[in-house]
């Protein structure tokens, strides 16, 4: 034995074990690396290892003489079974150190319970609390002793979890380890049921609470999951409904978090039922759960309990339907007014004072709420595919299936009932014509008739479930807490008139071929050129770009068919869904059309035009967060060198039909030689070449998007109209990029006409 090892043994009080000739158990060949583990590999920085893969139970203090030479440690809920692959190997294949060989000073703190293993001469992976994955110490690539979870498993294979950014190990941003890297979860649909599963998986008891909008700070790395929908009863997030790994439409400002608050006296739960929404009412006091006697129990008491548990309504149920409690009866003669925010605020006897038996325990059924909706009477309701949790397509859960509601007769009164049912108190706005996209599955309801005063949608049904004459293009939607268009003060209007290229509503990107739905108000300079109609439903002809309150930029070829008489056209600003009137939407008459003098209908060159709107000088279109002008490029500016992050937008051909909602698609600018080779002499120096030529990523703008903008972001977050959608061969056709009028070549002409 070396002197160093002898001194180490004396310090740890384990000389007999170190002096033993017992060999370290070798790790199985199937887990050996052909080379050393990657240097600098990141491991979970837990203070308490996660994942309740084994039930909690009392753990005896281990003593050095417990393991004799030639014998394996006895079975233990927190130990990898001897002989199982990975029983003494880390996740990365590194052999575990014997517990007696761990130095006294470590760079990274291990789980607190490991002190009981000091001096043991075996190298099996352990976790003494019995509630999470076994782990062990190993020597990393830098020669330093570190700890890591082991390759063996004690139960189902659950993703590795950690909480980051919190003030304690019991709260933080939820991070998952998947495919070799740590990442976050988007907070879409994130609620307390999801938090319950996270806390359970981490082995943290107590009250689980969900936190949204990066409450614990923005993470880094990939966003691994979105649309997580747990019932609250799962053992692992892996068992919850969710998006595919890496599939999301979020940024890190939407990272999900949880807190797992330790139980305190007065905490309540429903136990012994089929789910967390029903069961025998139990209250926590002095470290023990106990029941409540039903003497004097009222509906108001039930309401307070269900509301505290996150549900909106409930009813008393016979406790005989639920498993009997073996614990004490803590409360009796409870009386609530219905206004209490906590069950303990209700009047009651002293703790433990009662004259009851467990046959008189209070049983409750709350109407279950998960999957992004709050509980409701009759059947669950949820909102889908909105830009936030307060809006979306209305979906109801009937006969085991989520389905939609047809918009026949759908009004703001119906929307008010939906929003009230979901717990929102502000004004409600109905949306029709699949405003939030078409749903899937059955159409459950049609001809809903609410007065606006009903407690739930179930009270408004006038015909049989499943009876309808609709398609999903008529799916109904709502916006809750809707406050409509806010009038801007004069100073605000003046400040908006002095800026260009400003996107006030672009934080969340949610079709154009290869494209996807844009955010409402996300492209405030996008306008449309339409045929004039007495009914305000004129045909969409072309897209266009707002340059100022009174001037619009579009393509000259848009006026080929119907001529250049201003009386034939109107410009619609502030539009998102072409069939649904919206608060910022406005149709403005055309005063003047100016087509470039060099443009010839038989040619695609000089394909640019300006449209002047009717109204007072520079007071034609009213600016708002949804209506703002784009910036012009500099004269002869070369966007390939100065621009990045380019998009095309419009209501054009999506590959299946013309879109009702404004679409967007990211698009790369291409070297001009690509279009010169493809289009020969038709491509000139006054044109831009753009598009994605990869087969699986083709993006192009088509018929309905003619005249619309190609926008690129300059450093400083201002957006510039570099192109006007002009022409191309086909729509998203292979090896045929789109051709756009190069706006920078026409800046002097634009300024001379508009005086901008």
Q: Is 277:311 a contact under the CB 8 Å cutoff? A: yes
Angstrom distance (rounded) from CA 437 to CA 511: 11
Angstrom distance (rounded) from CA 294 to CA 434: 48
CA-based torsion, 271, 275, 277, 279: positive or negative: negative
Burial (Cβ within 10 Å: 0-12, 13-18, ≥19) of residue 508: middle
Burial (Cβ within 10 Å: 0-12, 13-18, ≥19) of residue 5: middle
Question: Helix, strand, coil: what percent of the chain each, to 5?
Answer: 15, 25, 55
603 an active-site residue?
no
At residue 19, the 3 state secondary structure works out as helix
Q: Is 514:652 a contact under the CB 8 Å cutoff? A: no
Angstrom distance (rounded) from CA 689 to CA 674: 8
557 an active-site residue?
yes
Residue 686 DSSP symbol: T
Token match 């400003």: residue? 502
Residue 342 DSSP symbol: S
C-alpha to C-alpha distances, 550 to 528, 617, 748, nearest whole angstrom: 14, 7, 18
Q: Is 324:285 a contact under the CB 8 Å cutoff? A: no
Residue 48 DSSP symbol: S
Q: Is 649:520 a contact under the CB 8 Å cutoff? A: no
Token match 């698609």: residue? 665
C-alpha to C-alpha distances, 592 to 333, 542, 566, 607, nearest whole angstrom: 80, 17, 6, 17
Residue 698 CA, chain-centre distance (Å), reads: 26
Read off the tokens for 560.
Answer: 């080929």
706 an active-site residue?
yes
Among the listed residues 706, 726, 736, 744, the single catalytic one is 706
Helical segments of 517-667, H only: 639-642
- Looking at the chain, how many residues does it have? 756
Angstrom distance (rounded) from CA 515 to CA 725: 15
Q: Is 698:505 a contact under the CB 8 Å cutoff? A: no
Distinct helix (H) and strand (E) counts, the chain: 9, 33
Among the listed residues 76, 354, 468, 557, the single catalytic one is 557
Q: Is 153:53 a contact under the CB 8 Å cutoff? A: yes
Provide the CB-side half-sphere exposure for 97 (13 A, CA).
Answer: 19
Non-local (6+) Cβ contacts of 180 within 8 A are: none
The phi, psi pair for 705, rounded to 5°, reads: -100, 0
At residue 752, the 3 state secondary structure works out as helix
Angstrom distance (rounded) from CA 514 to CA 121: 61
At residue 666, the 3 state secondary structure works out as strand
Among the listed residues 129, 226, 607, 700, the single catalytic one is 607
Tell me the catalytic residues.
Answer: 557, 607, 706
């Amino acid at each position: 034995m070396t002197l160093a090892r002898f001194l180490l043994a004396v310090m740890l009080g384990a000389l007999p074990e170190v002096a033993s000739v017992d060999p370290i158990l070798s790790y199985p060949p199937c887990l050996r690396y052909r080379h050393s583990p990657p240097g600098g590999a990141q491991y979970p920085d837990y203070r308490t290892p996660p994942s309740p893969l084994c039930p909690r139970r009392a753990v005896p203090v281990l003593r050095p003489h417990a393991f004799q030479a030639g014998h394996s440690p006895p079975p233990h809920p927190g130990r990898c079974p001897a002989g199982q692959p990975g029983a003494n190997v880390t996740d990365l294949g590194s052999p575990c150190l014997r517990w007696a060989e761990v130095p006294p000073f470590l760079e990274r703190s291990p789980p607190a319970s490991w002190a009981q293993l000091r001096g043991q001469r075996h190298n099996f992976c352990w976790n003494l609390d019995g509630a999470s994955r076994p782990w062990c110490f190993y020597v990393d690539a830098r020669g330093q002793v570190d700890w890591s979870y082991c390759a063996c498993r004690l139960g189902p294979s659950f993703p590795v979890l950690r909480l980051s950014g919190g003030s304690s190990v019991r709260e933080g941003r939820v991070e998952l380890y998947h495919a070799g890297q740590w990442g976050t979860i988007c907070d879409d649909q994130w609620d307390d049921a999801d938090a319950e599963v996270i806390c359970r998986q981490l082995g943290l008891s107590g009250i689980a609470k969900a936190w949204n909008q990066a409450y614990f700070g923005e993470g880094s790395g990939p966003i691994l999951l979105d649309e997580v929908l747990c019932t609250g009863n799962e053992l692992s997030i892996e068992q919850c409904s969710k998006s595919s790994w890496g599939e999301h439409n979020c940024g890190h400002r939407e990272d999900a978090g949880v807190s797992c608050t330790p139980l305190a006296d007065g905490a309540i739960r429903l136990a012994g039922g089929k789910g967390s929404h029903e069961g025998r009412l139990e209250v926590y006091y002095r470290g023990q759960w106990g029941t409540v006697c039903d003497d004097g129990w009222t509906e108001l008491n039930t309401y307070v309990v269900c509301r505290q548990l996150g549900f909106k309504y409930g009813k008393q149920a016979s406790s005989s339907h639920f498993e009997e409690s073996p614990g004490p009866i803590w409360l009796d003669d409870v009386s609530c007014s219905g206004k209490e925010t906590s069950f303990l605020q209700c009047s009651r006897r002293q703790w433990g004072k009662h004259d009851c038996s467990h046959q008189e325990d209070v049983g409750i059924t709350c109407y279950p709420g998960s999957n992004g909706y709050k509980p409701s009477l009759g059947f669950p309701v949820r909102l889908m595919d909105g830009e936030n949790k307060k809006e979306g397509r209305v979906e109801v859960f009937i006969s085991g299936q989520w389905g939609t509601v047809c918009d026949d007769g759908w009004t703001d009164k119906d929307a008010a009932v939906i929003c009230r049912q979901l717990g929102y108190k502000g004004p409600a706005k109905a949306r029709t014509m699949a405003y939030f996209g078409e749903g899937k599955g059955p159409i459950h309801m049609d001809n809903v008739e609410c007065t606006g005063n009903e407690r739930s949608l179930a009270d408004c049904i006038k015909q049989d479930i499943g009876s309808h004459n609709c398609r999903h293009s008529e799916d109904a939607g709502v916006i809750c807490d809707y406050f409509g268009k806010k009038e801007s003060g004069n100073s605000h209007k003046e400040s908006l008139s002095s800026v260009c290229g400003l996107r006030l509503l672009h934080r969340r990107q949610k079709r154009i071929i290869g494209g996807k739905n844009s955010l409402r108000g996300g492209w405030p300079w996008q306008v449309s050129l339409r045929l004039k109609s007495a009914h305000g439903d004129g045909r969409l002809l072309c897209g266009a770009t707002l340059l100022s309150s009174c001037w619009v930029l579009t393509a000259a070829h848009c006026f080929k068919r119907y001529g250049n008489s201003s009386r034939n056209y109107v410009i619609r600003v502030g539009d998102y869904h072409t069939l649904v009137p919206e608060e910022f939407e406005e149709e403005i008459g055309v005063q003047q059309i100016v087509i470039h003098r060099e443009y010839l209908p038989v040619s695609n060159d000089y394909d640019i035009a300006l449209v002047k709107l009717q109204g007072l000088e520079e007071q034609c279109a009213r600016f708002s967060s949804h209506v703002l002008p784009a910036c012009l490029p500099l004269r002869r500016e070369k966007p390939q060198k100065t621009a990045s992050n380019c998009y095309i937008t419009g209501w054009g051909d999506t590959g299946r039909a013309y879109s009702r909602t404004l679409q967007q698609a990211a698009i790369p600018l291409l070297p001009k030689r690509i279009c010169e080779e493809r289009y020969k002499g038709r491509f000139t120096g006054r044109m831009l070449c753009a598009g994605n030529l990869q087969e699986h990523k083709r993006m192009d703008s088509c018929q309905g998007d003619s005249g619309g903008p190609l926008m690129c972001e300059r450093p400083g977050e201002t957006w510039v109209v570099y192109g006007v959608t002009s022409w191309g061969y086909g729509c998203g056709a292979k090896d045929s990029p789109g051709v756009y009028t190069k706006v920078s070549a026409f800046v002097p002409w634009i300024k001379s006409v508009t005086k901008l």
